[in-house]
Amino acid sequence: MAASVKPFLKKLWRFTKRAFVIMFLSSLVYIIFCRWLMPPITITQISNSFSYGLKRDYIRFDEMGYNIKLAALASEDQTFPDHNGFDWDAIKKSFNPPKKKKNKKSKIPLGGGASTISQQTAKNVFLWQGGGVLRKAPEFYFTQMIEWTWNKRRILEVYLNVIEMGPGIFGVEAAAQHYFHKPAKNLSRAEAAMIIACLPNPKVFTVVPMSKRVAWRYPQILKEMAYIEDDEDILDIIK
């Protein structure tokens, strides 16, 4: 019995190694492809298209406008220029959140959470929505790979083109046209903040009509935009 199992295990090991190499090379080719060209379609876009349709209009980084880029960094990832894909301090804090104290307000506006824009880009371009351990390993891999093979400006450009900003609405251009009937480059600071404020759950936190969450969040984003606007590293990316 043992003699018959051994050849099977060898074949299984060879198959596993071959499959791993094929998947790695295929993913590497696609990552490099997306360094220069926008992803033709994503899993999230496909799944949404059956229920909500698909509204998107990929645009270049210089067509997006200053305000929407600043709003995204202010709300989602203020340390974006400095980290290597992961905000380890935020990750540690997410496991040990500080106890809330009554009548104490933070003097420094803080945006974003443990998930960086690089991680969100990796998830939205290469993977699927939803948490779970199954997605963590490939998310780590793709996040690290785009940090190594792309640059910060490209990561932000792809992020702002593929992120869902409403039911079936993907990217800043489609969102700007749908909500405010203007191109993304012409969005005001308030309009940009409103769009970004929907990102935790754009199907629930609607921009038009404005949900309570968006109405509460977008003024905070405006303050955070003003707070980070003099950061030279951020300006080097968004200008």
- For the stretch 120-153, pLDDT in tens is 999 999 998 876 777 788 999 999 999 999 999 9
pLDDT digits (tens, 9 = 90+) for 83-115: 999 877 766 665 565 555 444 433 344 455 568
| Amino acid 102: pLDDT | 44
* Axis crossing angle, helix 189-197 with helix 66-76, rounded to the nearest 10: 40
CA 177, CA 58: separation in Å to the nearest integer?
A: 12
Token code pair at residue 235: 């300006």
CA 126, CA 29: separation in Å to the nearest integer?
A: 12
Token code pair at residue 122: 């990796």
| Amino acid 92: pLDDT | 62
Those residues of the chain that have pLDDT short of 50 are 101-110
Collapse the DSSP code of 26 into the 3-class scheme (helix H, G, I; strand E, B; otherwise coil) and give the result: helix
Collapse the DSSP code of 56 into the 3-class scheme (helix H, G, I; strand E, B; otherwise coil) and give the result: strand
Collapse the DSSP code of 178 into the 3-class scheme (helix H, G, I; strand E, B; otherwise coil) and give the result: helix
| Amino acid 17: pLDDT | 82
Tokens 């606007």 locate to: 229
Which residues 6+ apart lie within 8 Å of 48 measured at CB? 54, 164, 167, 168, 170
- The full set of domains in the chain, from first to last, is 48-97+107-238 (1.10.3810.10)
| Amino acid 94: pLDDT | 55
Angle value at C-alpha 82, between 184 and 116, nearest 5 degrees: 60
